[in-house]
Amino acid sequence: MSEIAQNDNFNDKTNIKVVGVGGAGGNAVNRMIAEGLQNVEFVAINTDAKDLLRSDADVKISLSDANSRGLGAGADPEKGAKAAQDHQSDIEEVLKGADMVFVTAGEGGGTGTGASPLVARAARQQGALTIAVVTRPFTFEGPRRSASAESGIENLRKEVDALIVIPNDRLLDLSDRTVSVMDAFKTADTALLAGVQGITDLITMNSYIHVDFSDVTAILKDAGTALFGIGAARGEDRATQAAEIAISSPLLEESIEGAHGALINVAGPTDLSMQEASAAAQLVQDAIHPEAQIIWGLALDDAYGDEVRVTVIAAGFDPTPKKEETPAPTVDSTAAPAVAAPVQEPQQPVTGPSVQAESDETSEHDVVLPDSGDDGTSDPGYLDIPDFLR
């Protein structure tokens, strides 16, 4: 007679870590914490000691040394990469045990641009599904910062399974013409939050048809470029309207037409009909590659009211996606990636604390381990979609 063995040590909870690198990455992590993103551990990594003191992350890693004295990387990606290389053991320690690691940063500065590839490499070498969600700088930040960002994005692309790039200029186009500089950068933080939450919610939400970690891995492992869209609608044809909004999101830099893989999550009240849900999924399926692998989930909760929300994560655009047996097996984990020449930032048209993404960097020299806490439960109340995504 067969027996069912019960393992009290079994834990089906996916270990997800969100790592904010540099000033913009740290700001994004603070925003995620403030908005109540749950079931993840937050890590802040920076060379700017003052900026790191403002972090609310569970774990903080200072990349400062005797030379930098905690004053940041000075918009120099080489300094950011060197700092991460010198603290590689600290980075590897905090990433141990992670199933999925998000690396979030603002490209174009020093720490975010230079250190992010090394953080991603460390996560991937430990077997974690590694996803980067980064922003491309505003045009008003100058051509040199834009050039540095492009170089940083290409370096990061080599070290992750999937890369989502959010163009800040698109956010500016969607904002009021009188938007302040501070609010513009806050909008960028919100976009980074949406990119991370769009994926974590697929795994952590209580769903009628559940999307689990293996499903996400099937679509995003070695996927290269990835795109995400979120849509919400009420009234007649609410599900298909939400799906249409998701696949035509203004944050998408390109069409999802060529995607060879997609994660689709439909969420709504318990009176959502199967016909509505399937119509939404079919609309997305018709928009991508005809032979694409599609995994979809369905979450039903009356807390959504009469609203239906559709989240789409599309991937598999690259003509020759990376297929490695083990992440970066021949790469020396202590070697810094090639970075652009040091970029001296031109005088910005704005000054003061409002330009928070310029502050690329930390405090304590040691790794500060987090206090243990209870896992939160998913609540549709904190899943509100930012106005710019509606």
- Cα 248–Cα 275–Cα 272 angle in degrees, nearest 5: 85
Q: How many CB atoms lie within 10 A of CB 39?
A: 17
- Binding positions are 23-27, 110-112, 141, 145, 189
Is the distance from CB of 337 to CB of 159 less than 8 angstroms?
Answer: yes
The domains found in the chain, sorted by start residue, are 16-202+352-381 (3.40.50.1440), 225-317 (3.30.1330.20)
Listed residue (193, 137, 196) closest to 162, CA to CA: 196
pTM: 0.76
DSSP3 helix / strand / coil % (the chain, rounded to 5): 35, 20, 45
pLDDT digits (tens), the chain, 390 positions:
434 444 444 346 899 999 999 999 999 999 999 999 989 999 999 998 888 999 999 999 999 765 655 556 667 889 889 999 999 999 999 999 999 999 999 999 889 999 999 999 999 999 999 999 999 998 888 999 999 999 999 999 999 999 999 888 887 777 777 778 788 778 888 888 888 888 888 888 777 888 889 999 999 999 999 998 889 999 989 999 999 999 987 666 678 888 999 999 899 999 999 999 999 999 999 999 999 999 988 989 899 999 999 989 999 885 544 444 444 444 444 455 555 444 444 444 433 333 333 344 433 434 444 444 444 444 444 445 555 445
- Binding positions for GTP are 23-27, 110-112, 141, 145, 189
Residue whose tokens read 């802040």: 44
- At residue 69, the pLDDT reads 54
Q: Is 193 helix (H, G, I), strand (E, B) or coil?
A: helix
The whole-angstrom distance between residue 379's C-alpha and the CA centroid of its chain comes to 20
Query: How far is it, in rounded angstroms, from Cα 368 to Cα 61?
Result: 7
- At 128, the amino acid letter reads A
Q: How many CB atoms lie within 10 A of CB 353?
A: 8
